[in-house]
A and B are shown apart, each in its own frame.
Chain A
Amino acid sequence: MKITPGGVVAAEWTKFSSLRSTWITTGVSAFLLIAFGMIASASFSGPGMSAVDLALSGSTLAALAVGVLGVLLAAGEYTTGMIRATFAAVPRRLPVLWSKSLVAGAAAVVVMTAGAFAAFAGGAAVLNDGVSGVGLGDGGVLRALLGAGLYLGLVAVLGVALGMLVRSSAGAIAILAGGLLIVPGLAGLLPRSIADAITPYLPSNAGSAVMTLTPGEHMLAPWTGLAVFAGYVAITLAAAAYRLKRSDA
């Protein structure tokens, strides 16, 4: 009998799967991705719009939902007091952060990748006449769908890191929503030259690059964008790890 990395991951999976809120939040995330993708596919058309971009237009809201999933998993331990049992069992603490991130990230990648494909298939079925359909084999389509799953998986990890860092669900969700949704809007208020320089590097803009078939002018290359977003996640994780080691539980 001893602590093993695999054991801590198994424990985190047990915690993840034994809460109703987990399943609800996961289901809502997938639903938002698919439903908004289909609605947009059926309704919108215009120059430069591709079927894939339309199918993935639910990704902004899905990101918020999947981020909340990560937050609840982590901050929920603090708000309920469960963290004391968790750290009494794993007093080194960091394995808990890594395992929680792994479980939330992997679950989100699996479900949201499936969701992205479902949104694509559903969107294709209801696609309006103003947009030409594309196939999975067409350039960039597979990358965009797989990239959507990876991006949303990383958002779940970001939620875990924020939850462990600020230890309050409301606080972490506010930071998450602010970082993903509000910051890009605020950047638009800056002088044009500055905005153009920093906008591509903002978290949600960088992360979405990977799932955009027709990138705009001020957008990073797909994998570069995802790497930048992964950088944000890594920094937040490092901050959470630092606080975990330094302060009382």
Chain B
Amino acid sequence: MIEVREVTKRYGDKTVVDRLSFTARPGQVTGFLGPNGAGKSTTMRMIVGLDAPTSGDVLVNGKVYATSTAPLQELGVLLEAKAVHPGRSAVAHLLAMARTHGIPRSRVDEVLHLAGLEQVAHKRVGAFSLGMGQRLGIAAALLGDPAVVMLDEPVNGLDPEGVLWVRNLLAGLAAEGRTVLLSSHLMSEVSLIADHLVIVGRGRLLADTTVADLVTAEGVRVVTAAPDDLRALIGGAGVTVTSTGALAGEELFVTGLSAREIGLAAATRGIPLFELTPQNASLEEAFMDLTRDAVEYEAAR
């Protein structure tokens, strides 16, 4: 469990995280979303104690991370910025981390195997591709068999097979009852694995929600032989009917009525419908709307 409580971080007079609060719970994947510069990486650094909050506090499994006697068992982290010496081999890097906690060599081999890095375990990390570096970072995060796994843009640089691997890995970790927090600015990626969404913009919490709640019905696409008749029939308060101009004027976009209501109304007059399709705002659009508003709000102050 990660509890972020009223956390503010300032660098000089720039407020990067602004009274942010959210909780990532065990057994689920929490997606941490926000546009570039929203403060996601900064928040994650504060969670592992690399940066100190200006005010507020962060608890990992109920305590401050630095006070743990076995931090790697509490939380494993993949940070956005490289956190490995390029002159060392993958094995030496993991071994150095493992020895701090008395983690056996066999566990190092285990995570190397898990990340598919056995072949390159003895190569210098400096020669690794972006994707191999990400895999090493994920292997390091899993080293202590942690209760909380926190990954900052883990699929960055991974090939499709790697993306699928991360997706299954995280789902598996959450199913085992672990807390998983992963950041991204790609809603489409996160919505595939996250149950819970924390969306930030300019360091502030914009939404603490679920994927299902964020997707709202937007309207209905209708293709009909008699667009004018249908418009006259269903038009009224709270309903908008616009011609999209496509399909020789036969396509309409209706908001304020469900597809069912439109279909029933058309049937009473015998208006033929060729298509009747509810259109959901894509998650990506919902996300953009949310974050755009935050920027406007910010600018208006």
Contacts and interface: CB of A to CB of B under 8 A. Distances in A.
Interface of A: 1-4, 7-8, 10-12, 14-15, 18-21, 76-77, 80-85, 87-92, 248-249
Band of interface residues on B: 35 or more
A10 B85 CA distance: 17
B87 A11 contact: no
Given A81-B84, A85-B93, A2 B101 contact: yes
Given A11-B98, A77-B85, 4 more contacts: A3-B69, A3-B101, A82-B85, A85-B93
Contacts of B97: 11, 85, 89
Contact of A14 (B45, B73, B95): B95
Contacts of A11: 96-100
B88 A7 contact: no
B89 A10 contact: no
A1 B73 CA distance: 8
A219 to B, nearest CB: 40
5 contacts: A1-B144, A11-B98, A21-B87, A85-B83, A89-B72
Contact of B83 (A3, A15, A82, A90): A82
B102 A2 contact: yes
Interface in B133-173: 140, 144
Nearest to B68: A91
Nearest to B48: A88
Given A2-B70, A14-B95, A18-B88, A88 B83 contact: yes
Nearest to A21: B87
Given A1-B70, A1-B144, A84 B50 contact: yes
A15 B84 contact: no
A11 B72 CA distance: 14
Interface of B: 45, 48-52, 65-66, 68-73, 77, 79, 81-89, 92-93, 95-103, 140, 144
Pick the 5 closest A-B CB pairs, nearest first: A18-B92, A91-B66, A84-B83, A11-B99, A85-B83
Given A81-B82, A91-B71, A8 B100 contact: yes
A141 to B, nearest CB: 39
A81 B92 CA distance: 16
B6 to A, nearest CB: 19
A249 to B, nearest CB: 4
A89 B101 CA distance: 8
Nearest to A17: B92
Contact of B88 (A15, A81, A83, A248): A15
A2 B73 CA distance: 8
Contact of B85 (A3, A19, A89): A19
Contacts of B89: 18
Nearest to A16: B96
Contact of A89 (B71, B79, B84): B71
A26 B51 CA distance: 34
Contacts of A2: 69-70, 73, 101-102
A80 B51 contact: no
Contact of B100 (A19, A89, A248, A249): A89
Given A14-B99, A91-B48, A80 B140 contact: no
A81 B101 CA distance: 21
Contacts of B71: 3, 88-91
A102 B48 CA distance: 26
Contacts of B93: 85
A11 B143 CA distance: 14
A102 B97 CA distance: 18
A84 B81 contact: yes
Nearest to B92: A18
A77 B51 CA distance: 16
Nearest to B102: A7
Contacts of A20: 87
Contact of B84 (A4, A19, A85, A91): A85
A90 B69 CA distance: 9
Given A1-B73, A80-B86, A87-B50, A7 B99 contact: yes
Contacts of B98: 11
B51 A249 contact: yes
A2 B101 CA distance: 5
A79 B101 CA distance: 25
Nearest to B95: A14
B87 to A, nearest CB: 5
Contacts of A85: 83-84, 93, 97, 140
A3 B92 CA distance: 18
Given A1-B73, A3-B100, A91 B82 contact: no
Given A84-B79, A91-B65, A1 B103 contact: yes
A249 B88 CA distance: 21
Contacts of B140: 85
Among B50, B66, B89, find the residue whose CB has the most chain A CB atoms closer than 10 A. B50
A83 B68 CA distance: 19
A55 to B, nearest CB: 34
